[in-house]
Chains A and B, each alone.
Chain A
Amino acid sequence: MHQLFHPLIPLMPLMPVRLKYCSISTLLLIVLIGLLFTAQPLRAEQTIAAGAGALNTNARLNFRVVMPRFLRFRVGTANATINLISFAPTATQVGDNISITGAGGDAGGSVVNVGVWSNAGQIIITPTNNSAGLGLRGIAVADGAVNYNQIITTPSSALLPAPTLSNAGGVAASVTPSSLPVTLRVATWAYSFANTTVPAASTFGTNARGGRVTYTASSP
């Protein structure tokens, strides 16, 4: 009777002779050990519950967000465009010590949008220009140059201050972090022409004559 109702009767033709006559408990132990070595880790996303009462079963999922260290910086139009801020005082305005606004900013008039996004620590903005310390040169050498200190920058937020421009480049400005090392600041910078001198009649600056300022945002 022991063998008649043996649970592995269907497998017996395939089993070694010695196994056919071992006890049920021994066979179950062998089967259990085999399952332990062949089963994959129980990390299934499909599970089954059965029976009476409330049934519940789980399916698990893992999430990962990989966040790079980064610094994003914008002055003016948010693409590869380099805005040209132009001041054109009228004849009656030249040298009257009243600052004038210009045109060409992406935020209207001579105003540009500025943004700093980073998770890389304290951000410093440093200005440089391509005038070799001479300022914005006129078309002819005899026209002289307009000093960069005639271009005033007024930020809309003290949290994103604008560097003060000079012929040598300017004074760096520190951006107030949101919560170190994260910075998320947006503002506008409004440029104006101080108009305290009387230059020669000419067109000063542009990229060809020392009129390009490069702002560099740096993290530690």
Chain B
Amino acid sequence: MNIAKYAIPAALAAIVGGSVLVFSPTAQAEQAAGVSIIGPGVLTRAARVDFQIIIPRFLRFRVGVANLVPNDLIEFAPTADQIGVGGALAGTGGDATGGAVTVEVRSNAGQINIVATNAGAAGINDGGFNVISYAEITTSPIGGVIPAPVLANAASAAAPVTLNSGLVTNQNAVWTYAYANTTIPEAGTYGGINTRNGRVTYTATSAP
């Protein structure tokens, strides 16, 4: 056997194999190298692949339209016949339409709690001194796998999301908003897209 005849290809194979190892850190394929793989008769070599999946600790939270689109606006526009006569009024807007939004919580970081906050101690204002309390905006369901925080001026109480198992949460829900309509506010436009304290920020928090 002319060893020199095979030495150069074998060396090249070793170099290529080494390159694979350098550029594929997460899928390490084994390629056997050396003179023993050549010759007459049955040849057997094993080549193995190792896999690795790295899952980060994370918390993903959605209320309304998924990311990279403008925020949802939930609007209530009672007619003159409806104002203050009681009976909740449905709204418009929301990615689930009719004043409803899609809510998702995905996490592997343990118990998740959701708190709703807004900037106003008095509620939604009309740009002047008139306000509508956030208590006039109701959210359903109060219970469920992702219970909706009960809106209040400033901040709500925490609403715990139901864990699926262990530290994992993978829950979907739809929150529907309504205007309670128990008062007679002055005419005006209260709140809006990040104006007149119409913005509510929901914060999902995991266990430490």
Contact = CB atoms under 8 A, between A and B. Distances in A.
A113 interface: no
A1 to B, nearest CB: 12
Q: Max chain B CB contacts within 10 Å: which of A40, A60, A117?
A: A60
- What is the size category of the interface that chain B forms with chain A? 35 or more
Please classify the interface of chain A as helix (H, G, I), strand (E, B), loop, or mixed, using the class held by over half of its residues.
strand
Given A61-B200, A62-B73, A71 B80 contact: yes
A2 interface: no
Contacts of A69: 187
A181 interface: yes
Nearest to A182: B184
A45 B80 contact: no
Contact of A61 (B63, B69, B189): B63
B166 interface: no
Nearest to A53: B208
B74 interface: yes
A44 B68 contact: yes
B67 A45 contact: yes
Nearest to A183: B184
A125 B192 CA distance: 36
Interface in B39-93: 56-81, 83-85
Given A40-B69, A50-B57, A66-B189, A60 B137 contact: no
A21 interface: no
A68 interface: yes
A58 B76 contact: no
B184 A47 contact: no
A66 B77 contact: yes
A50 to B, nearest CB: 4
Q: Max chain B CB contacts within 10 Å: which of A41, A48, A61?
A: A61
8 contacts: A44-B68, A45-B101, A48-B61, A61-B64, A62-B200, A64-B191, A65-B77, A70-B80
